[in-house]
Structure 1
Amino acid sequence: MSIRAFKRPQPPRFGVLLLNLGGPEKLADVEPFLRNLFSDPSIIRLPIRALQRPVGWLIARLRRRKSMRLYEKIGGGSPQRRITTEQAAALQSELARQGIAARVYVGMVCWHPLIESTFQQILQDHITHLVVLPLFPHFSVTTTGAAAKKLIHCFDQHGGVREMRRSYVTHYETEPGYIAALTDLIVDEMRQFPDPRPAAIQLLFSAHSIPTKYVERGDPYLRHHERTIAAVMTALERRLGTRPPHTLSFQSKVGPVRWLEPSTEATIQRLAREGKTQVLTIPISFVSEHIETLYELDIQYQALAREVGIPYFRRVPALNCHRAFIRGLAALARARLTAGYQAQPAEQAVGG
């Protein structure tokens, strides 16, 4: 009687995929980056689908010189890829410290390393358990949804890769580590004002705007930001004993359609009329430094604040590799890697 040899079960191979938008790393990258951005209907949708690509390329061509001038002002390119790579390394180290051996990958929607190329690397590494973790704490079809659609398309092109268990983190607007990191950075910056009393400092939460029509159709983006602000204000009250005055505004509008308001520009002007002299901006929807923080907040809105008479205008740094934030990401990933999770339906990951 022959003895049948059985293969010993192989240990799982864990992976975490960080998703981000991406940004041009040098001036020569600006136009191809803009082509990718404006050609993606999940990010900026044109009324006639067939015109999306040609019109997107035309817009990129027309905006190229203006965008290049802005990137020149922040050193010639976006640091987002470098910072996201550093976040991935920090997350991998934190998971290892907690006893989780997982490889952390970076995939970008509009620039390198593109999601499609990172997906190929994940396949080559024979990952068996994958957590998809967007670096967008607040869900929107224009951010998390756009990235998830690209990734799901990759899976579909390879027959679904059913042997790989995967879970999508769709939002984490009140994750304790994320809230703690924001709170720490806000408190640190408040101490830098001439009058550090909480009541004397106006907090201005500035989020990347999106077209209003998405919110009207059920996109939870605005609601998620409101939850984050509520959690941060509760944490600040515990730390400071009181709540500083605060408001929410939106920046980075593109195109003629109606976007979420009030704009950060209009809000700064209003605060000046109200006699505010100390304003602290908080880039609430940005977890790494890039054009929206380094140019819009630090240069454009700083100049506007001086012009309208706000003498003390500061900005909270982006989270980058703040330890509490990385620990928060690790908690999100670990919960899904170590639990017997079921792969989340794709439609939940992309908003329907």
Structure 2
Amino acid sequence: MNTQLQTGPLTTSTKTIGKTGVLIVNLGTPDSPNTPDVRRYLREFLMDGRVIDIPYVSRWMLINFIIAPFRAPKSAKVYKELWTEEGSPLKTYGYTVEEMLQKALGGDYVVKLAMRYQNPSIASGLAELQKLGLSKITVIPFFPQYASASTGSVYEEVMRILATWQVMPELRFVNRFLDHPKFIEGFVRLGRRYLSERKYDHVLFSYHGLPERQILKGDVTNKQCKLGSCCDTLNRHNQFCYRAQCFETTRLLVKELGLAEGTYTTSFQSRLGRTPWIKPYTDDVIKDLARRGIKSVLALSPSFVADCLETTIEIGDEYRELFKEVGGEHWQLVESLNDSEIWVETLVDLVKKA
């Protein structure tokens, strides 16, 4: 039998074979501010073993017998304060960004919005992308700093779903973007606008908190993390430490804003339960600032790219009330990047360099 071998190099078209899917993923939001929908959201969110990292049976009992029944009605009242005519701000901004990013990337890309919890789900977004016969899928979790409970959870859910696919396109994840120049510039522009309007005694950078045990579990070497001065620099040893990443974000913003040492603080909010969370706590910092005679504070939350319950309500309203209760006079929240052009420019860059 004669076999003729092709001696020349195998070649393919230089053009992309098929399109690239882009799945942008934020944390999630209830479908409505009504108690049943809020309860459903809390159950899905808090049953994630990366969010409440305790044994399954204990987690199930805690959430279904204590948190969901008692917290849902209270949370529903707060969500009603947040809700707009268009719905949840987190979802509203998400859909606008989806549209803007699609327009900016052009026809070689297909952009889909997803939420890690509730709707539109990661499963539905991936199902839509699967039908298109894509060459690549790029997943961008909307979390500037990596944490197992946020970015890590998105990774796990995406891979769980793709594991059932017979054909898997090339998959790329954006791990974090806390030091992306345009991300930093976006918050700097917002901060400068407020700083130009009046003089503030202090600038507070408040990040979402995490239990200390999750930070310690993330130190795979069991040698680096001390939850203290080890976060003063971000290096190869602590590159995935959420706390260290937050302090690095503050350093980058402080440098561009030109803030003097002693005029700013990094803190962490939204703790739940009695176990220790990463410190310093934002509410304790606020009380301390008032005791020191600080009368006006500009607050930023660079762990959120879209305004939500934790920014608009917690930082914007609840912390303002606390600040005034302990002697403060003026409290101003800086909004998130939301649907700004520079946020979309950041995403375009992340997609093309993924």
TM-score by length of 1: 0.85
Aligned to 1:273: 291
Q: Which residue identity lines up with residue 205 of structure 1 in the other structure? A: F
SS in 2 for 1:81: helix
Give the stretch that moved more between structures: 312-321 or 120-129: 120-129
**Structure 2 residue 50 is matched with structure 1 residue 42:** yes
For 2:163, the aligned partner's letter is D
Q: Match for 1:270: what amino acid?
A: D
Residues 1:156 and 2:136 are matched in the alignment: no
Deviation at 1:208, TM superposition (A): 0.4
Unaligned runs of 5+ in 2: 1-11, 220-239
Indicate yes or no: 2:310 matched with 1:292: yes
Distance in 1 (alpha carbons) for counterparts of 2:276 and 2:88: 27
Q: Secondary structure at the match of 2:256?
A: helix
Please point out which of 16, 19, 24 is paired with 2:22.
Answer: 16
Aligned partner of 1:86 in structure 2 is 96
**CA distance in structure 2 between the aligned counterparts of 1:87 and 1:144, rounded to whole angstroms:** 19
SS of the residue 2:148 aligns to: coil
Question: Which residue matches 2:202?
Answer: 202
CA contact (8 A) 2:83 2:89 kept: no
Q: Does 1:168 find its partner at 2:186?
A: no
Deviation at 1:54, TM superposition (A): 4.4
1:249-271 Cα offsets, whole Å, 9 max, x none, are 11111122211112111111100
Give how far 1:329 is off: 1.4
The 8 Å contact of residues 82 and 89 in structure 2, kept in 1 or not, is answered as no
Q: 2:195 aligns with which of 184, 190, 195?
A: 190
Gaps of 5+ in 1: 1-7, 337-352
Farther off after superposition, 215-224 or 269-278? 215-224
Amino acid at match of 2:25: L
Shift in Å at residue 83 of structure 1? 0.9
What CA RMSD, in Å, does the superposition of the two structures yield over aligned residues?
Answer: 1.9
Which residue identity is paired with 2:212? T
1:260 and 2:278 aligned: yes
Residue deviations 1:92-137 (CA, integer Å, cap 9, x gap): 22223xxx63111112111101111111111012221111111001
Equivalences, count: 315
**Given the superposition, is the C-alpha separation of residues 272 and 12 from structure 1 closer, same or farther in structure 2, using an over 3 Å criterion?**
same
SS at match of 2:28: coil
Partner amino acid for 2:347? Answer: L
Residue of structure 1 equivalent to 2:248 = 227
Q: Any idea what the Cα deviations from partners look like across 1:180-237, whole Å, max 9, x if unmatched? A: 00100000111232xx2xxx53110000000111112225111111111111111112
Contact 2:212 2:278 in 1 (8 A): yes
Alpha-carbon deviation of 1:283?
A: 1.1
1:326 to 325, 344, 354: 344
Cα distance, 1:320 vs structure 2: 0.6
Distance in 2, matches of 1:323 and 1:245, equals: 29
Whether 2:154 is the aligned partner of 1:147: answer: yes
**Alpha-carbon separation, structure 2, partners of 1:300 and 1:155:** 41
Aligned counterparts of 2:127 and 2:77: Cα–Cα separation in 1:
35
Distance (Å, rounded) in 2 between the aligned partners of 1:125 and 1:289 = 32
Q: Secondary structure at the match of 1:17?
A: strand
Deviates more, 1:215-224 or 1:144-153: 215-224
Query: What is the rounded CA distance, in whole Å, between the counterparts of 2:131 and 2:64 in structure 1?
Result: 33
2:117 aligned counterpart, secondary structure: coil
Q: Measured at CA, do residues 289 and 25 of structure 1 come closer, stay the same or move farther in structure 2, by a change above 3 Å? A: farther
Does the Cα contact within 8 Å between 1:83 and 1:320 map onto a contact in 2? Answer: yes
